[in-house]
Structure 1
Amino acid sequence: MSRPKFGVRRRLVSIAAVLATAGGALLAAPSTAAAALPPHPIDDPVIYWNDVLLQLIRREGGSPVRMARSAAMLNAAMYDAESSYRLTWKGGVTSEAYLSVKKYAGWSEGPDEEERVLGRTAYNVLLKLYGPRQTQFLDAKFRERFGTEPTDGDLLDYTIVGPMVDQIMKARENDGSTNSEAYSSDGVPGAWRHTSYPDMADPDCDEDSDAVEPNWGLVKPFALASGSQFRPPTPGTYGTYEKLLESEEYKRQVEAVRKLGADRPTAATPEITRTTEQEAAAWFWANDLNGTYKPPGQLLQATRHVSEARGLDTYENARLFALVSLALADSGIAVRDVKYQTNIDLWRPVSAIRESGIDRNWKPLLKNVDGVNVSPCFPAWASGHATFGAAWAQVMERYFTTDRIAFDMTTDDKQSPVKTRHFTSFSEAATENANSRVWLGVHFPWDATDGLTLGTKIGDYVFDNRLKDLT
């Protein structure tokens, strides 16, 4: 059986016709969704549906940049839907729309209307992004939240939910995210190539064409003018791989990660300078493997921790999660621009160290669940973790008007020796996140540095130009 559009039974079409005003607008009326909500440990609907997203990310796996795009679409749609609810029943809004908001028709506010507007918007956006693979899961999460079926009727689907879902989906049509053209390596020393060696067999990265999301830097951003808007100058400084490899700075970069990021000592690398604390942090921030909530999910979870500790209301949460998600999505686009659209598609440390003859037995600390050492299947420069983390930290600092907020963070990485870490500021967390990639042996220090700079600029731009405060 086909699913009714926006989860509305066809019988509501006749009801809608009866309740239509002379001008054709629909009146919000009681529905089967109006019963009291079941008890649930997550009170706020914005946080609930972001938790559902994190569960979807764990179930789906795949690229973190795609996860960030989903988060931006979900949270931008929920923010505009929440703003529409506020405009209709609470006297107005205090920050700008992402796309548009509307004052929708109705005699009076219905039971749990804010919850219904947000939940039905979130459910339908996620259904469009992850259905049909995850339809049963999403239906179960809807029933858990509302105690009803998502196909039960609600006139809000006509008056506000449908328009909110339609506008975010239309805004992202043909944004470049479906470009599946395979990657072709530059094929010279210094250029990225797959990192699957006989003693590091990685079935997910045993061909150069396996490179992940090589065209994502060309995807239309959510806030930036283009993925290259804040491109750091470092890759272009050298111009060619040959000049890069001849530079003294490059040699210092290789030496730093060789000692900090090695899995274990070898004859050629007898000393590892990474501390026990650095190794713990490296695994805490990893979240590279499928089954985790990936780097964007870890930052969304941290957003939840901070929000709950500071008692934000639903409208405040909708804006915060939207700002964070827009910044994360554009970070994914911008960092892929640096990795693939510049003159230097820098190889990973394991290639630099092995193929130059420095240490042919060197392996990075990062491993998959089978204990096989691996490197992410895309170029090193710049670090995605660093870019995501800095963009998140900057949005959080601007939103709360201070960097100095203490909070706890969690991890999904099963190899992490600790599940919670405490930070005294957003920038402290972002800096450790960036450095963790060097300690895992998968990035050079300048990947982290440039990622932090790039992410900070993105966070500032998003906050200055989207969902601006109207008060």
Structure 2
Amino acid sequence: MKTKFLLLTLFMVLLGFTYACKEESLLDEPEGFKQYSNQVILDWNLAAFEAMGGASYEHSLLAARINAMVHIAMHDALNAIASRYQTYALTEKNKDADPIAAAVSAAYEVLVASFPAQKAMLDGRLAESLAQVAEGKPKTDGIALGKKAAQVILTQRQNDGALADPIGPIEPSTVPGVYQAVPPFNFVFAPQWKTMQPFGLQKPEQFRMEAFPALSSAAYTTAFNEVKTIGQKNSSTRSAEQTGIAKFWYEFSEIGWNRVTRTVAKDRKLGLLNSARLFALVNIALVDAYTAGWDAKFHHNFWRPYTAIRSAENDGNPNTTADAQWEPSEVTPPVQDFPSTHSALGNAAASVLAGVLGDKVTFTMSSPTGIAPFQSRTFTSFSQAANENAESRVLAGIHFRFSCEKGQELGNKIGKWVLENTLKANN
């Protein structure tokens, strides 16, 4: 049952080793940057989270987009001073600009443009960050450079359609396998995202996977019966720890994997530029995983376990049995099942992290959706965390296992592509 998860782990271990070998020599900061910590990168990653509304925000795809813009702007501003990596959008250079002033000004300008109602909070954060920089031309140049880095990425994304109404209608259907709304929602979320302009990929459908298993197949039967049993609300076969895992990873993926990135960047004491690049790569991979996932979800338009289990008498499979009262352990998100984008985001981020730092990195983190005694969990590798992240969706009763496996495969491809084609080291 879990053979594919083990193969995915092995793939990520090999991926992490290959890229970590390439990246290891780059983790030293450039001359002129070694005196700085990465604290402002961590601070403004959290400032972005706060500006979005914290744990209460609801538009996860838009949040991932803004996170990518913030960290691209910070990276480009810093890289304009050190010029170690390829730039994403900003072409201007100024080796005399102050790095702290440049980085925080870039983040501030993206966030205040995106959330003008949060200006007072962001003004305070900016003042705190800039207070540590001595007055003078380097500070002035740094502020100007950060503003330019922000404006370039804001201009690039201003007409991408991300701000369209995310509530979409669902066409009723009685065809087995076709997606239908799952209570408490009566809509499909953010249909415009299926054609969103990617940040790193060439096009949304670049890695679109083949179709889900046929409803009459043994693979579908196995996945159906598994999620029906272990993913059911108050399941008698799901252990207390498995319930804890389902809840631990239930928060939006971009929230959890930015927390992972903050944790390891701090634990590993990464420098300013390398932290900026790492956050930019992770967030590019995360937002593109949403886009590629939405493309595939809307293309395949596959039903969720809730609908499949309640309507099994019509699926043409004699080995599946309907349960008209079945409910999942956790609330089902209002979008199609195949593939699991939660799994895609986890593997996309984990592939980038493993590529830069190596896979075998031990870290501990907590989750606001976790329950006692499982609010905090320790992992010995990024691939282990990504596998548990994907597993959680089956345990929660909201995805078939084959959707999680395909999501993980998609995430691995996205992470690898981003590493090979974005913010590469200058020769």
CA contact (8 A) 2:38 2:275 kept: no
Q: Of the two structures, which has the highest relative contact order with CA contacts closer than 8 Å and spacing of 6 or more?
A: 2
Query: Aligned residues, how many?
Result: 375
CA contact (8 A) 1:284 1:417 kept: no
1:395 to 331, 334, 352: 352
| Counterpart position of 2:274 | 316
Larger Rg: 1
CA contact (8 A) 2:73 2:107 kept: yes
SS at match of 2:365: strand
CA contact (8 A) 1:183 1:214 kept: no
**With structure 1 as the length reference, what TM-score do the two structures score?**
0.75
Q: Does 1:176 align with 2:176?
A: no
SS at match of 1:460: helix
Structure 1 residue 43: deviation in Å?
5.9
| Counterpart position of 1:332 | 290
| Counterpart position of 1:280 | 244
| Distance in 2, Cα, partners of 1:323 & 1:356 | 42
| Counterpart position of 2:399 | 443
CA contact (8 A) 1:80 1:99 kept: yes
Which segment is superposed worse, 410-419 or 118-127? 410-419
Structure 1 residue 138: deviation in Å?
1.7
In structure 2, what residue type is equivalent to 1:190? G
2:81 to 79, 85, 95: 85
In structure 2, what residue type is equivalent to 1:351? T
In structure 2, what residue type is equivalent to 1:156? D
| Counterpart position of 2:233 | 263
| Counterpart position of 2:171 | 185
> Within 5 Å, which residues of 2 pair with 1:54-453?
54-59=49-54, 61-86=57-82, 93-104=83-94, 113-132=98-117, 134-146=118-130, 155-156=140-141, 159-180=144-165, 182-185=168-171, 187=173, 188-196=175-183, 202=184, 205=185, 207=186, 210-235=187-212, 244-265=214-235, 272-287=236-251, 294-340=252-298, 342=299, 344-356=300-312, 358-366=322-330, 374-400=331-357, 402-413=358-369, 415=371, 417-453=373-409
SS at match of 2:123: helix
SS at match of 1:245: coil
| Distance in 2, Cα, partners of 1:458 & 1:382 | 14
| Distance in 1, Cα, partners of 2:172 & 2:409 | 26
Structure 1 residue 136: deviation in Å?
2.5
SS at match of 1:135: helix
SS at match of 1:319: helix
**With structure 2 as the length reference, what TM-score do the two structures score?**
0.83
CA contact (8 A) 1:97 1:467 kept: yes
| Distance in 1, Cα, partners of 2:410 & 2:103 | 32
Structure 1 residue 104: deviation in Å?
3.3
Instruction: Provide closer, same or farther for how the CA distance between residues 128 and 417 of structure 1 changes in structure 2, counting only shifts above 3 A.
Output: farther
In structure 2, what residue type is equivalent to 1:141? R
SS at match of 2:104: helix
Instruction: Provide closer, same or farther for how the CA distance between residues 414 and 275 of structure 1 changes in structure 2, counting only shifts above 3 A.
Output: closer
CA contact (8 A) 2:340 2:399 kept: yes
Structure 1 residue 186: deviation in Å?
5.7
Instruction: Provide closer, same or farther for how the CA distance between residues 61 and 318 of structure 1 changes in structure 2, counting only shifts above 3 A.
Output: same
CA contact (8 A) 1:328 1:388 kept: yes
Q: Percent identity?
A: 30
Q: Pick the structure with more helix per residue.
A: 2
Instruction: Provide closer, same or farther for how the CA distance between residues 414 and 136 of structure 1 changes in structure 2, counting only shifts above 3 A.
Output: farther
Segments of structure 2 that go 5 or more residues without pairing to the other structure are 1-36, 314-321
Map Cα deviations across residues 13-59 of structure 1 (whole Å, 9 max, x no partner).
xxxxxxxxxxxxxxxxxxxxxxxxxxxxx962111100112223444
SS at match of 2:377: strand
Instruction: Provide closer, same or farther for how the CA distance between residues 55 and 43 of structure 1 changes in structure 2, counting only shifts above 3 A.
Output: same
| Distance in 1, Cα, partners of 2:205 & 2:372 | 34
Structure 1 residue 158: deviation in Å?
7.2
